[in-house]
């Protein structure tokens, strides 16, 4: 218990150090450039403390649970020797973590409101909900597909740069044909998938899988899944816009 408390305080100090540059930049521009006081200082201070504590708990939770869990599950699937189970697990992991991603939920809801205001979809609650849910499902399918291909890449030993370069060439080509209303949303959807829920489990899966296979280097083969997971949503969302 004592070691756990000490680890939390170390994480707390590290989180404060990570957030300190942001605090200094905001304070500099607010006080010296804009020359304005900080409104609702007590509320902001309390919120800042919550952010530091929450970030510390989140990082400690990743180290204690999510990373070991992802690595252990990847190792267990390899040991079991069933490729189809591993591929199904990879797809469902990518789909499940992404569809529950808070950043994606927020961006999909905001996109639905703006699409309704711009006349892209009907300005009704049902239409907005359908648009937001459809967008979330498309992005989740894209990340599931990315993990599926990423796991095959690790098993086969394919260089990750070929997939990334080929994928971005596909993104550029599709940009010329996709509806202009969907392009910016597609590009942002690639960013929101690499957030708090998805990244730890995806990284743990890749690292655990690379550790479990003889001849694979976790530093070379274990990483790259996150980059691919942020790439495929751009393609899928633009295709979604072109079809629907």
Per residue in 88-146, pLDDT (tens digit) is 888 988 898 888 777 888 888 888 888 777 776 666 777 788 888 888 999 999 999 99
Residue ranges of domains in the chain: 1-65, 82-243
- Quick check: 186 and 233 in contact, CB under 8 A? yes
What pLDDT does 239 receive? Answer: 92
CA distance 176 to 194: 25
Mean pLDDT score of the chain, rounded to an integer?
A: 82
The pTM of the full predicted model, rounded to 2 decimals, is: 0.77
Map tokens 């200094």 to a residue: 24
Residue 219, judged by CB atoms within 10 A of its CB (0-12, 13-18, 19+), counts as exposed
Q: Between the CA of residue 128 and those of 81, 108, 111, 125, 176, what are the distances in Å? A: 44, 10, 9, 5, 26
Closest CA to 174 of 106, 100, 237: 237
What pLDDT does 171 receive? Answer: 92
**Percentage of residues in the chain having pLDDT higher than 70:** 93
Closest CA to 211 of 77, 64, 59: 77
Per residue in 181-239, pLDDT (tens digit) is 888 888 988 887 766 667 777 777 888 888 777 777 777 777 778 888 889 999 999 99
CB within 8 Å of 160: residues ≥ 6 apart: 153, 223, 224, 227, 228
- Quick check: 201 and 93 in contact, CB under 8 A? yes
- Quick check: 108 and 140 in contact, CB under 8 A? no
Map tokens 């994928």 to a residue: 167
What number of other Cβ atoms are within 10 A of residue 202's Cβ? 27
What pLDDT does 195 receive? Answer: 67
CA distance 231 to 244: 21
| Average pLDDT value for residue range 172-184 | 90
- DSSP E strands, the chain: none
């Amino acid at each position: 218990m004592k070691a756990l408390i000490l680890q939390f305080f170390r994480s707390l100090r590290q989180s404060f150090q990570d957030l300190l540059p942001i605090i200094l930049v905001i304070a500099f521009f607010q006080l010296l450039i804009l020359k304005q006081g900080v409104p609702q200082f007590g509320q902001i201070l309390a919120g800042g403390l919550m952010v530091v504590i929450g970030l510390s708990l989140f990082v400690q939770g990743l180290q204690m649970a999510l990373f070991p869990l992802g690595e252990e599950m990847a190792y267990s699937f390899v040991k079991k020797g069933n490729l189809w189970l591993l591929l199904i697990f990879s797809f469902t992991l990518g789909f499940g973590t992404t569809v529950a991603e808070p950043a994606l939920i927020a961006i999909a809801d905001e996109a639905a409101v703006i699409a309704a205001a711009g006349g892209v979809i009907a300005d009704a609650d049902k239409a907005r909900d359908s648009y937001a849910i459809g967008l979330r499902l498309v992005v989740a399918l894209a990340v599931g597909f990315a993990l599926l291909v990423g796991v095959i890449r690790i098993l086969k030993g394919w260089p990750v740069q070929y997939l990334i370069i080929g994928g971005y060439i596909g993104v550029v080509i599709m940009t010329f044909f996709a509806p202009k209303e969907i392009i910016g949303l597609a590009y942002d959807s690639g960013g929101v998938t690499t957030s708090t829920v998805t990244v730890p489990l995806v990284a743990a899966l890749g690292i655990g899988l690379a550790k479990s296979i003889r001849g694979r280097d976790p530093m070379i083969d274990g990483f790259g899944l996150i980059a691919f997971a942020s790439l495929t949503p751009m393609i899928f969302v633009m295709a979604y816009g072109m079809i629907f």
